[in-house]
Structure 1
Amino acid sequence: MARTIAMDIITPERVVFSDEVEMVIVPALDGLLGVLPGHAPLITGIKIGVVKVKKDGEEFLVSTSGGIMEVHPDQIKMVVETAELPHEIDVERARRAKQRAEERLRNKTAKIDEARARAALERAIARLKAAGKLGE
């Protein structure tokens, strides 16, 4: 059996995931960060993106938005604004959000908040990636 590390993904509303995992790859502020059991302690910021989780030899993705991650040799705690497991994602809603954000960015006017539109686009893309539906 592979070595594991306890992992919790928590939002203000709920615990999205809590289990033992073999590996995690997280979109940290300075780039992708891989965490294995026994990792050195650290705290880092998390960007909007997709967290790759390896559990029982299988990988799955979790869509997350900004937050923080605390790592200890035997535990990972992620506290994020939002997080969705693949089966929880409303793919059509994410596609519509992506289209709206792309349209806003294409048709720039003084009235749009460009940073907000870019963040909406990043969230929609992360949700579609986690659901395995980007590019369909």
Structure 2
Amino acid sequence: MKTIKVNIVTPDGPVCETDANTIIAVTEAGEIGILPGHVAMVAPLKIGSLRLIKDGVTEHVAVHGGFLEVRPDVVTVLAQSAEMASTIDIARAQAAAKRAEATLRAKKDDYDYQVVELELKRAINRISVYETRKK
């Protein structure tokens, strides 16, 4: 089966360079599937799981925003942050989710709720991606 090269890059550097038969990403317009030879495009990403499928094995990546650039021979993900499921520190993600939930419940006027909600979404995404890899 044909493959397409996948590069995932953050401001901190490369996260993953691999090949995949199929890439499934969560974009602002919805979920998109990409196969080798896909038409060139650029799409903004939402916080979500990026799935890289190769020979029937799915690898999950927690992606927190950014852009997906598709060319017929390579997909580049330029993400604000991204973590392979295998490298997620689940205890840290759970602690971050609890902190964000507590902050939102406190309802203090000095908090920027959009920032805290974004932190919560990122933590929940990391937990979800980590748990999905075990299935």
- TM-score normalised to the size of structure 1? 0.91
Partner of 2:13: 14
Separation of aligned partners in 1, 2:53 and 2:88: 19
Extract structure 1 runs of 4+ deviating beyond 6 A.
Answer: none
Q: Do structure 1's residue 58 and structure 2's residue 57 form an aligned pair?
A: yes
List runs of 5+ in structure 1 lacking aligned partners: none
- Give, as a single letter, the amino acid of the residue that structure 1 aligns with 2:49: V
Separation of aligned partners in 1, 2:111 and 2:31: 30
Separation of aligned partners in 2, 1:106 and 1:35: 40
Separation of aligned partners in 1, 2:24 and 2:104: 29
Q: Do structure 1's residue 26 and structure 2's residue 17 form an aligned pair?
A: no
- Give, as a single letter, the amino acid of the residue that structure 2 aligns with 1:80: A
Alignment size in residue pairs: 132
- Give, as a single letter, the amino acid of the residue that structure 1 aligns with 2:31: L
Partner of 2:37: 38
Deviation, 1:107, is 2.3
SS in 1 for 2:93: helix
Separation of aligned partners in 2, 1:124 and 1:55: 27
Identity %: 34
Deviation, 1:106, is 2.1
* Residues 78-121 of structure 1, C-alpha deviations (whole Å, 9 max, x = no match): 11111111121110000010111112222212111111111101
SS in 2 for 1:53: strand
CA RMSD of superposed structures (Å) = 1.2
Separation of aligned partners in 2, 1:72 and 1:122: 29
Separation of aligned partners in 1, 2:79 and 2:63: 7
- TM-score normalised to the size of structure 2? 0.92
SS in 2 for 1:44: strand
1:1-136 to 2 correspondences below 5 Å? 2-132=1-131
List runs of 5+ in structure 2 lacking aligned partners: none
Deviation, 1:57, is 1.5
SS in 1 for 2:25: strand
